[in-house]
Amino acid sequence: MSVGRETRLSAWIERFAAHFAEEGIPLIGGRILGYLLVCQPVERTAAELSQELEASSGSISTNLKYLVNVGLVTKRTRRGRQAAEYRINEKAWTEFIQRKLTAIASVQVLTDDGMRLLSGDPERAQRLKTVDRLYGWLSEELPALWERRPASPK
Amino acid sequence: MSVGRETRLSAWIERFAAHFAEEGIPLIGGRILGYLLVCQPVERTAAELSQELEASSGSISTNLKYLVNVGLVTKRTRRGRQAAEYRINEKAWTEFIQRKLTAIASVQVLTDDGMRLLSGDPERAQRLKTVDRLYGWLSEELPALWERRPASPK
DNA sequence: GATCCCTTTCGGTCGACACTGAAGCCATCG
DNA sequence: CGATGGCTTCAGTGTCGACCGAAAGGGATC
């Protein structure tokens, strides 16, 4: 007997959430992300999310606030409706990833400062120099690579 | 009255450790890394690190084990000396960063699986498709970029 | 303006993890 | 072979943050 699509999807959502949990995003936040990526229709209220994901209203509220804040989810209110609707903002994923890349390269600022402190003692600076060169290269190349990113089709 | 170089260096080490603490590396682990990058001489025993960084022997031991495990620090034992000596392994930083890059791109596996689950329903798959394309591009380009990395001079 | 319903806020609980310090372990040396 | 000295292991402590559920807050409708 085969498993239904929706069942598989919720397993997928769980994997999805688990991945981002390792990156520091709360489990429930990851579940919201995964769910909003594949749900039909695309918009959901906080109450619906709470029920679907079996999470408390408080947790949903906190995590939605966070996700809206980083831009991955957009909130939409409509006249005549009390409940706000939330949906994925696919476009924001580019900035989300960009932040990760720049975070990696940002170590260069540190190694650079360190090199300055050790100026005048090249022998001692040698270890740092190796690391600094790597990060220096990254902070050149990563932004450059990012510029070459293909525009997403309409 | 100016501040001594060593004082500034320990402030730098603290900033260094703080940065990596945000990435999930224990504070003391980060301090060890920063310290071993700039100390003179380059090798230190666990006891010395414990004293210099004012951390318990237990914490030093645990964190050294971790750092040796990920390759960023190498342990060296010498005949006739009980105390092992630890030093930075600059070379390992390449793999350290590479792991971070591949971790980012690895989301593509997830989005890909999701796309498969939604095959046959292009409308519903649209949101995921946008994200999947981005990660697809990344998992092409990041490894390619990495290959072009300049070899570190001897 | 009163009621209803949805959301947000807030105190409280639970689990995870960094860190400590003491006890155990093992190699070195007398 | 015993003593010394340093590293590792382990139980215990404290902190931090995710999560829950109840109460407060604020629109929308009557």
Which of B38, B121, B126 should we substitute to test contact with A (largest number of A Cβ atoms within 10 Å)?
B38
- B45 phi, psi to nearest 5 deg: -90, 165
pLDDT digits (tens, 9 = 90+) for A6-26: 899 999 999 999 999 999 999
The pLDDT value recorded for residue A154 is 57
pLDDT digits (tens, 9 = 90+) for B57-80: 999 999 999 999 999 999 998 887
Q: CB of residue B18 closer than 7 A to nucleic acid strand D? A: no
Please choose, from the candidates B116, B148, B142, the residue with its C-alpha nearest in 3D space to the C-alpha of residue B129. B116
Residues 37-66 of B with CB under 7 A from strand D: 45-47, 50, 57-58, 60-62, 64-65
Q: Is the pLDDT of residue A87 over 90?
A: yes
| pLDDT tier at B118, thresholds 50, 70, 90 | very high
A84 touching chain B per CB within 8 A: no
Tokens of B50: 């414990």
* Contacting residues for B74 by C-beta, under 8 A, at least 6 apart: B68, B86, B87, B88, B89
CA angle B31, B34, B35 (to 5 degrees): 80
- A72 phi, psi to nearest 5 deg: -75, -20
* Contacting residues for A16 by C-beta, under 8 A, at least 6 apart: A30, A31, A33, A34, A37, B110, B114
Interfacial A residues in 94-113 facing B (CB < 8 Å): 94, 97, 100-101, 104, 106-107, 110, 113
| pLDDT tier at B154, thresholds 50, 70, 90 | low
8 Å CB contact between A88 and A75: no
Measured distance CA(A92)–CA(A94) in Å, rounded: 5
Chain-centroid distance of CA B24 in Å reads 10
- B75 phi, psi to nearest 5 deg: -100, 140
The residue type at B142: L
The residue type at B36: L
What are the start-end ranges of the E strands in A19-152? 73-76, 85-88
